[in-house]
A and B are shown apart, each in its own frame.
Chain A
Amino acid sequence: MKKYCLSICTVCLLAISACSNFLELEPDNQINQNNFYKTEEDFETSMVGIYATLRNLYARDIFFITELTTDNTEISIPTSSLAEVEFDEMTITATNTIVQSAWNSALFTVARCNVLLNRIQEASINEEAKNRISAEARFMRALSYFFLVQAFGNAPVTDAEFESPSQVFSTDITLRPSEEVYQLIINDLVTAESQIPNTLNANKGEASIGAIKTLLGKVYLAHHDYTEAAAKLKEVIDLGHYSLVDDYKSLFQPGNENLAESIFEFKFTSGVNLGNTYSSLFTPAIIGLLPDRQSGSGRINPTLSIIQAYEPGDVRKAASVGDSILSDVGMVYSRYGLKFVDMTTNNPLDGAANFTVLRYADVLLMYAEALNELGAADVFTYLNLVRSRAHLTALQETGQEALRSAIAQERRVEFLFEAQRWFDLKRTGKAQEVVNAYYAEKGLRFSVEDHELLMPIPRREIEINPNLQQNPGY
């Protein structure tokens, strides 16, 4: 009997030990990190993932941070969420879900760039591809950090690829001072500039030499390094890759694909769940404007102030804003945006227009700004290039201060709905002055306090890591 039992036990143990890989199962239908990141195509595909990741920021959140906070836009509907209202009234809290979402999109992009940059070093693919793809990833990492440093000031910094939760918690990811973040951005862009082919990439959805130089110029300008900014922006102009398109309106309509003026853009298309929601964001909740009895959400609509900011004869006004809608009850007064609004789709949440992050008009106006700050002479040459495309007369103003105002005014009307206003106001030190004046004029009891020039670090991040320092005042 004992023998019998013993032999059964032996059989059991043998069976179980023989089956140890019985328990090693991987999903056949899904790639995992052990069998990917090998070929050039693998890295191209993960680069697509990175572009898609940062597109989330530009799909919605950034407009609350850069447009709704300013005198450009306001909420026109009484039922918006508290998180949305906080931008309009400049009472942003650390629990604001839009701030959190923007933070996530930017840092997810950083993390995914880190994975790619770590993996590509060990990959055996050809050197040209390795450099080019690395440069693209560095550009995207820089673009993310540039948003973070402008919006939040300090930011967490790492270039590690994480392979377990315990590694995440043992890595130092406390906030680094904004100066350090700026250096990181500049380093990434300088390295990328040396790695990317020096030719025009017809696909403006990918980072190119022009995009890298333009972003670097923009970063220098924001950092008030005017000499470096001017030099870098001049290099973009001298590349000869870009020019202003004649029809301003065409920049913001479906089909705005790889235009000559576009330097870097995020792509959208309708009908396959890959559209944008700008038609809903920028228009009011009134039937009559959008096709097929659709209406917007009233979330980020133009203010009276921006409508009145256009000079007479400016073609940009009719391309950018409007204020009367033929509704069911007749013509009603209601302000709406037109840029990136898609009048060809019956779903306001599925617009086809691409969003242009960097374009040549920006290069010209930034160059003018840098030159003006350096006290150079031919500032309004570049300013007037932009004005004449808008069918406005050339400006002949002189004097650094007067030109500052002229450039600020030009940027305001040129880049409405292009996620520039709040950062422009911050760069030029005018944010509190301009926005507080706007509130006062409207008789609103809101104001931008000193500490509100930086967004709060999302509460969730501090709850996860109590070593993170909240921005002062929150």
Chain B
Amino acid sequence: MKSFIKLKLVYLLIFLFINKISLGQTQIRGRVVSLEDGQALAGVSITVKGGNTSTKTGENGQFVIAATSGASLVFTYVGFERREVLVRDENNLTVSLTPTSQMLEDVVVVGYGTQRKRDLTGSIVNLSGRDLIPTPAASFDQLMQGRVAGAQITQTTGSPGGNVNVVIRGINSITGGNQPLYVIDGFAIGAGGSGSDASSFNGNSYSSSGMANNTVSKINPLSTINPSDIESIEILKDASATAIYGSRGANGVVIITTKRGRKGQSSIQVEASGGLQQVANKLDMMNAQEFAQFVAEGRDNAWVLAGGNASDPNEARNTATIVKPEFRNPSALTTNTDWQDVIFRTAPVQNYLFSTSGGQQVVYNISGGYFDQQGIIKGSDFKRFNLRSNLDVDLTEKLKLGVSIAGSHSYGDFARAEGHLGQRGLIATALANSPALPVYNSDGTYTSELLDPYGVPVENPLLVIDEFSDKRYNTQIFNNNYLEYKINDDLSIRTSIGINYNSGNTKLWKSSEIGQWGVKTSPATAGVNQQTSINWLNENTITYNKQLNERHRINAVAGFSAQKDRFEILQAGATDFPTDYIHYIGGGNVNAGNNYISEWAMLSMFGRINYTFADKWLFTGTVRRDGSSRFGANNRWGTFPSASVGYRLSEEAFMKNQQVINDLKLRVSYGESGNNLIGNYAHIGLLGTTSYVNNGAPILGIVPAGLANAELTWERSQQTNLGLDIAFWNSRLNLSVDLYRNLKKDLLLNNALPAISGFLTATQNIGELENKGLEIALNTENIRSDNFSWTTNFNISFNKNKVLKLSTTGSRISNSTYQITEVGKPISSFFLLNAIGVFRDWDEVNSSPLVTPNTQPGDVKFEDVNGDGRISDDDKTIVGNPMPDYTFGFNNTVRYKNLTLNVSVVGSQGQEVYFQGGEILLNSAGVQNQLALVNDRWRSPEQPGAGLVPRAIRSDYARGQQFSSRYLFDGSFVRIKNINLAYRLPQRLLNKLNIPGLTVYGDIANAFTFTDYPSYDPEVSSTGDNIAASGVDYFGYPLARTFTLGIRATLK
């Protein structure tokens, strides 16, 4: 009661004061817009500094306030930084506000609704505003890299439009997928990702059927989303947040919300940028002199092994050990070709964006974009067109309608980059080629030693670029519509129906000039395939929102949904083309093809309730029940519950008396979510065809192709999360720490079956694995002043992956040629013979276990793991794993007046990478060109080199050239991912030009990488989106370093 009287007195005084001083004042008129996009901001509080006058902006951001000249106006608005502006005699003041990076009062998107960020009890990372200013080289998943604690994001290829892997809180599944669920504007589109060049071409893939079967997608569907359309990205990490997505939530959920219009005057944004890309680092290869010496040495050693003498002339030798005469005198060699310069180029990239938004009863945001990137490997490029229209219509006061229509068309030429030189993998072909060979013959034709029995058996890479073409097209049309009815202030219902159509088209051509392995030419082949998918979704929800009194707040949602996906593929291949002019299958003999469909359907019911008591205690409970066509009749329905509690300690009275900590919240959550990422019909006993011959012609037989399993069901993830959010000094320092343990049960495994079953494996729910980890995110505002500010964002994530149970304790699952999974170890551990050095001399040979009794000094020494005195495949052992111990991101933004510098650094430590290309570039076989570090090989007991590279010898009798831990390298790296310098033209100048905002910027992407990895980049992976087999680099398309200049403007 006392305080009430006090307040009244204050009001009275203010009233008197205002009346007194308002006499010498003028009316200031103006408009407030967002710095980010020039949008008008409604509801911004404006006060006169030191005075008591205040107002708020109207719908179009306009305001009128009385102030004296020379006074300062203070602008405050939720989600934006406070700004002070000195008043002059201006009648048309435009004030732009900068979005804050710490938006404690912000709202975040959660599944089927939104929640106050303050009230969160689950582990959710929100990216919006500043975090998402795009650079031209990036798709949105690349933008997330280094910004999300707990998400390991890797760009597995530098190929334009290529794959990016997002792994949230560690690899969760061995057989099922590991990609998170992507939800775009409420529509669950499924997993992203695309295959790699190496996975798309393997085996007999240049035959007409191989070309027809090349259905691996190379355009990542997520790369077709225009990053500048995105308003916010939420990454849901723990079960409290993901259980609402039930059987699809276990790998985490990424929710993307696109920009919608805000009521107000229309505004237009345009942006244009252009840049140049180059290969970030070239490999240090042997030069012609070193190479000649190496080749001679390798062949002499092989001839000696075969019983000859190193001094024997060529006439006395077998073909494999003949040395070109000019290689006997390396110093006289004049040609020195760096084949990397032959395939790589400096390539341009351009990006143009346009968007407009505004409206009153119909609010719109319409955008378009064009992105054009040439690849750093000759012959590769990528183009993307985007259009998006988001409309929201108030039909009546209570009824609201919304429509989103988005389309994209992207296409490109893909380089035949990865894989073995025998299959004309471009990078292998270039690196292995002889540096003593010129690029062109004297008549201008391409050189090649492919058919030279004494040369390097590789094709000229320029021929591969010319004679191979791989064109891919992708079209997406997305339409989602909702109708929302507000029954009363607390209760609303919403129904939505949407459809996502995706069409991919591949056209492949291999001319008759390209053969395989040692064959120079082979009949031309072509392949084409057309893939279409239609996915529809209907969702119906009811939402209840109620503030009961000061202390109780309830927010609840319940609903049901139905979703179905139909995928169809049509493919054909042709060969025997009479000429190389026509690259379409109709030009040849069409003799391969297929057509099939694959469908899944899902029915779901779900609900969530949030309850907040006195802003101190926060509770969330969710449950979802899913039924899926993918699983066996006996286990088709599953229920996924979760519960979480938050306790805001800072609301306690004893915390109110200090100024250091302004917010402190503890969170605990537990829940279950599932993973349904297996094939559509894995539970049905399917039959397949196999070819046989009758009367010299093919005939098809039928064989069982898979074992039925009516018990097949979801992988179930039991997730526990402990979290702490703490803000110091009025939120200048924000710290979030999360500790989690995810226990995955009923793991879908391709469980090995005894051969007498007729099958090698069957997918079964067996096995358990665990991911546990720690995530720390620290946001600080180091300097905050009007002209100068510096903010830092640092996050680091530790994750430990361990398999707890497989079908039997001793069983091993093979993930790739080099990787296995076994109990007690991380998934996909590298399982190889362990090379422990090079035999220095005979003493060492004679006292060691050997692969063959013929072993000599200079050969590779392996560890005799089973101690049986000899080296065999039984000695393979786990020598590493592709999982990093920790990953981190470190982002700094420094603003001085209108100049903003942003530097982001990402890092990953402790993972191993198997450099499959090392089987060629480090094999020391005396044939292909080698990395320069092979110069440090064993040459004699007196010159043992570094002890890592064996002697040059053209024979693998001692198993030194095949796969072993010799080619396994530490893949740790620290990368300066991005440096961006932006300059916003001064407001005064802009006002004269009548332009609300204009920014110019320069950007360096992938600026520098610190690593010991010997090939181009430790981040690339030749298995594309097959995350469970990642960590193998077979000459992956290197990442580019990109320099960009751009301009971004807001027009009225």
**Contact in complex: A78, B690 (CB < 8 Å):** no
A104 pairs with B760, CB closer than 8 A: yes
B959 with A111: CB separation less than 8 A: no
- Answer yes or no: B981 CB below 8 A from chain A CBs: no
* CB-based contact A274/B873 at 8 Å: no
What is the distance, in angstroms, from B54's C-beta to the closest C-beta of chain A?
A: 40
- A49-B703, A293-B451 are contacts. A464–B708 as well, Cβ < 8 Å? no
- B270 adjacent to chain A (CB < 8 Å): no
CB distance from B408 to the nearest CB of A (A): 29
Chain B residues with Cβ below 8 Å from A55 are 692
Residue A6 lies at the interface, judged by CB distance under 8 Å to chain B: no
A-chain residues with CB within 8 Å of residue B113 when the two chains form the complex: none
Measured between beta carbons, the chain A residues less than 8 angstroms from B596 are 27, 29-30
Contact among B207, B560, B956 for A273, CB-based, below 8 A = B207
Segment with Cβ contacts to A, from B163-171, B357-365, B751-759, B889-897: B751-759
A346 cross-chain contacts in B, Cβ below 8 A: 519
Write the chain A residue with the least CB distance to B691.
A274
Asked if A82 is at the interface of the complex by the 8 Å CB criterion, the answer is: yes
Kindly supply a per-residue 1/0 record for chain A positions 449-474, scoring 1 wherever the CB is within 8 Å of any chain B CB and 0 otherwise.
00000000000110111100000000
* B 851-874 contacts with A by CB, 8 A: 851-853, 870, 872-874
Q: Taking A8-B542, A50-B701, A273-B204 as contacts, is the C-beta distance between A23 and B601 under 8 angstroms?
A: yes
Q: In whole angstroms, how far apart are the Cα atoms of A95 and B866 in the complex?
A: 13
Residues on the B chain within 8 Å of A89, using CB = 852
Docked Cα-Cα span, A84 to B696, in Å, equals 31
User: From residue B632, how far is it (CB to closest CB) to chain A in Å?
Assistant: 9
The verdict on A31 contacting chain B, using a C-beta distance below 8 Å, is yes
Q: Kindly list chain A residues whose C-beta atoms are within 8 Å of the C-beta of B755.
A: 103-104, 107-108, 111, 461
Q: Is A445 an interface residue (CB 8 A)?
A: yes
Q: A23-B629, A78-B302, A464-B752 are in contact. Are A168 and B873 (CB under 8 A)?
A: no
- Interface flags for A149-176 (1: CB within 8 Å of B; 0: not) read 0000000101000111110100001000
Q: Report the minimum CB–CB distance from B806 to chain A (whole Å).
A: 10
Greatest chain A CB density within 10 A among B319, B699, B754, B870 is at B754
Question: How far apart are A286's CB and chain B's nearest CB, in angstroms?
Answer: 6
Main secondary structure of the interface of B (DSSP, over half): mixed
Asked if residues B757 and A269 are in contact (CB atoms below 8 Å), the reply is: no
Asked if A329 is at the interface of the complex by the 8 Å CB criterion, the answer is yes
Restricting to A24-69, which residues have a CB under 8 Å from any CB of B? 24-34, 36, 42, 45-53, 55
Tell me whether A110 is interfacial, beta carbon within 8 Å: yes
Interface flags for B733-769 (1: CB within 8 Å of A; 0: not) read 0000000000000000001111111111010100000
Per a CB cutoff under 8 Å, which of A94, A95, A269 touches B697? A269
B560 engages A12 (CB within 8 Å): yes
A166 engages B703 (CB within 8 Å): no
Residue among A5, A46, A91, A162 making CB contact with B701, cutoff 8 Å: A46
Contact B207 A267 (CB under 8 A): no
Question: How many interface residues does chain A have, given as a range?
Answer: 35 or more
A152 shortest CB reach to chain B, Å: 12
A107: min CB distance to chain B, Å: 4
Size class of the contact patch on chain B:
35 or more
What B residues does A327 contact at CB under 8 A?
319, 453
Is B50 interfacial (CB-CB < 8 Å)? no
Q: In the complex where A16-B605, A286-B319, A327-B319 touch, is A26 in contact with B687 (Cβ < 8 A)?
A: no
Residue B686, interface by CB 8 Å:
yes
Residues of A within 8 A of B703 (CB): 46, 49-50, 52-53, 112
Verify if A257 is at the interface (C-beta below 8 Å from B): yes
- Closest residue on chain B to residue A28 by CB atoms: B597
- Residues of A near B704 (CB, < 8 A) are 33, 111-112, 115
Bound complex: CA of A1 vs CA of B488, how far in Å? 11
A158 and B700 within 8 A (CB): no
Interface centre among B319, B707, B956, by most chain A C-beta atoms within 10 angstroms, is: B319
Query: Within the complex, what minimum Cβ distance (angstroms) separates A50 from chain B?
Result: 7
A399 to chain B, nearest CB (A): 41
Q: Does A205 contact B (CB under 8 A)?
A: yes
Chain B, Cβ-Cβ closest to A82: B873
Say yes or no: A52 contacts B692, CB within 8 Å.
Answer: yes
Instruction: For the complex formed, measure the closest distance between the CB of A277 and the CB atoms of chain B, giving whole angstroms.
Output: 12
Closest chain A residue to B317 by CB distance? A329
Known contacts being A79-B961, A293-B451, is A173 close to B562, with CB within 8 Å? no
The answer to whether A23 and B701 have CB atoms under 8 Å apart is no
Q: Does B693 contact A (CB under 8 A)?
A: yes
Q: How far is the CA of A83 from the CA of B872 in the complex (A)?
A: 9
The reply to whether the CB of B70 lies closer than 8 angstroms to some CB of chain A is no
Q: How far is the CA of A33 from the CA of B688 in the complex (A)?
A: 10
Which residue of the partner chain, among A12, A53, A95, contacts B540 with CB atoms under 8 Å? A12
Contact A26 B872 (CB under 8 A): no
Nearest chain-A residue to B516 (Cβ)? A347
Selected from B302, B756, B759, the residue in CB contact (under 8 A) with A110 is B756
Partner of A269 from the list B305, B564, B693, B708 (CB cut-off 8 Å) is: B693
B694 interface residue per 8 A CB criterion: yes
Please measure, in the bound complex, the distance between the C-alpha atom of A53 and the C-alpha atom of B705, giving whole angstroms.
12
**Which B595-637 residues have C-beta < 8 A from chain A?**
595-603, 605, 627-629, 633, 636
Complex Cα–Cα for A274 and B689 (A): 14
Q: Which residues of the partner chain B approach A95 to less than 8 Å between Cβ atoms?
A: 872-874
| A393 adjacent to chain B (CB < 8 Å) | no
Which A residues are in CB contact (< 8 Å) with B595? Answer: 29
B756–A269 contact, CB under 8 A?
no
| Nearest-Cβ distance from residue B462 to partner chain A, whole angstroms | 22
- Known contacts being A36-B687, A46-B702, is A29 close to B709, with CB within 8 Å? no
Whether a CB of chain B sits under 8 angstroms from the CB of A287 is yes
Query: A52-B690, A173-B754, A274-B693 are contacts. A32–B562 as well, Cβ < 8 Å?
Result: no
Assess whether B955 is interfacial by the CB under 8 Å rule. yes
**Contact among A15, A257, A293 with B696 in the assembled complex (CB-CB below 8 Å):** A257
- Known contacts A27-B680, A173-B754: A16-B687 contact under CB 8 Å: no
Bound CA–CA A465/B752 (angstroms)? 10
Shortest Cβ gap from A333 to chain B (Å) = 9
B518 part of interface (Cβ distance < 8 Å): yes
Tell me, yes or no, whether A272 is within 8 Å of chain B by CB: yes
Whether the Cβ atoms of A47 and B601 lie closer than 8 Å is no
- Stretch of B101-109, B376-384, B640-648, B808-816 with 4 or more beta carbons under 8 angstroms from chain A: B808-816
Taking a contact as CB atoms under 8 Å apart, the answer to whether B764 and A31 are in contact is: no
Note all chain A residues with C-beta closer than 8 A to B207: 273
- Chain A nearest Cβ from B534, distance in angstroms: 14
Closest CB of chain B to A37's CB: distance in Å? 9
A441 at the interface (CB under 8 A from B): no
> CB-defined interface of A172-214 with B at 8 Å, one 1/0 digit per residue?
0100000000000000000000000000000101000000000
Report chain B residues within 8 Å CB of A127.
none
Given contacts A25-B599, A203-B694, contact A463 B812 (CB under 8 A): yes
Contacting pair B707 A164 (CB below 8 A): yes
- Which residue of B318, B627, B696, B870 is within 8 Å of A332 (Cβ)? B318
Q: B313 near A: Cβ within 8 Å?
A: no
Closest B residue to A26 by CB, please name it.
Answer: B684
Q: Which of A94, A114, A329 has the largest count of B CB atoms less than 10 A from its CB? A: A329
Candidates A16, A110, A156, A287; contact of B603 at CB < 8 Å: A16
Closest 8 CB pairs between A and B? Answer: A111-B758, A48-B701, A49-B701, A78-B955, A267-B693, A49-B703, A107-B755, A29-B596
A164-B711, A165-B764 are known; give 8 further A-B pairs, CB within 8 A: A16-B603, A23-B629, A25-B600, A36-B702, A46-B702, A79-B961, A93-B872, A173-B756
Task: Name A's B-contacting residues (CB within 8 A).
Answer: 1, 4-5, 8, 12, 15-16, 19, 22-34, 36, 42, 45-53, 55, 78-79, 81-83, 85-86, 89, 91, 93-96, 103-104, 107-108, 110-112, 114-115, 156, 158, 162-166, 168, 173, 203, 205, 257, 267-269, 272-274, 286-287, 292-295, 327-329, 332, 346-347, 352, 445, 460-461, 463-466
Q: Can you list 17 A-B pairs with a CB-CB distance of less than 8 A?
A: A25-B629, A25-B680, A27-B599, A27-B681, A30-B686, A31-B686, A32-B687, A33-B704, A48-B692, A48-B700, A48-B701, A49-B689, A79-B956, A165-B753, A173-B754, A293-B519, A464-B808
